[in-house]
Amino acid sequence: MSLGPFALIEGTSYYFAPINAEQEYRQDYYDKAASSTRNYLILNTADKPTVRLVPRNDMLFVNIEK
């Protein structure tokens, strides 16, 4: 798992960053790496707590809207 870059949610003191699952696989003639967003980390810069969007990292997020 890896943490992506934080992005500001406009008009708030909140930032969010994707939690990505990295995976590598090999096909016959090339190696490929891929990542998929499994969760989001939310950071409140006003008082510094962080929280995950969903409790576990076993979901797959295809897109997100702020």
**Per the domain annotation, does 36 fall within a domain?**
yes
Domain count, the chain: 1
DSSP state of 43: E
- The residue assigned the tokens 């997100």 is 64
62 within some domain:
no
Residue 50 CA to residue 38 CA, distance in Å, equals 16
Residue 57 falls inside a structural domain: no
Which of 1, 4, 3, 9 is closest to 46 using CA atoms? 9
2-47: pLDDT as tens digits? 999 999 999 999 999 999 987 766 666 666 556 789 999 999 999 9
Q: Is the pLDDT of residue 55 over 80?
A: yes
pTM of the prediction?
Answer: 0.75
pLDDT at 16: 94
**Is 64 a member of any domain?**
no
HEC secondary structure over 2-22: EECCCEECCCCCEEEEEEEEE
Task: Considering only residues 63 and 31, tell me which one the structure prediction assigns the higher pLDDT.
Answer: 63
Domain-embedded: residue 45 = yes
Owning domain of residue 31: 2-52
Residue 11 in any domain: the answer is yes
Task: Provide the token pair at 25.
Answer: 């696989």
Let me know if residue 61 belongs to a domain: no
Residue 32 is predicted with a pLDDT of 59
